[in-house]
């Protein structure tokens, strides 16, 4: 699976199926497809959470500076969730981004 992904990145699903002689398999049922699909959904959800948090921060506190935008874009899912909780009670943006004590 990994070899196909890295060695044939520009081929379509149909081209790969034809090349390896597989005609009657539904690639959506393969473990590889399911793993990629699940990972893509998770990444999309996390990106959506970052976007919503950024919108909330900007609405409540005004535009974010470049450093805060970078911290938000690089934050892991748990950190984004923590910041999302903090925004409810924060009086300023620094309280949202404050380190965990």
pLDDT, tens digit (0-9, with 9 covering 90-100), for 31-49: 777 777 787 788 888 899 9
pTM for the predicted model, two decimal places: 0.63
The strand ranges marked E within the chain are none
Beta carbons of 20 and 1 less than 8 angstroms apart = no
Q: Does residue 26 carry a pLDDT above 70? A: no
**Tens of pLDDT along 45-89?**
889 999 999 999 999 999 999 999 999 999 999 999 999 999 999
């Amino acid at each position: 699976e990994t070899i196909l992904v890295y060695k044939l990145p520009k081929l379509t699903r149909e081209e790969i199926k034809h090349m390896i002689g597989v005609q009657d398999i539904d690639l959506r049922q393969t473990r590889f497809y399911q793993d990629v699909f699940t990972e893509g959904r998770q990444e999309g959800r996390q990106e959506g959470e970052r976007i919503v948090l950024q919108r909330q921060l900007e609405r409540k506190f005004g535009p974010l500076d470049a450093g805060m935008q970078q911290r938000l874009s690089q934050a892991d899912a748990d950190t984004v969730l923590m910041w999302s909780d903090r925004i409810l009670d924060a009086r300023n943006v620094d309280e949202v981004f404050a380190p965990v004590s």
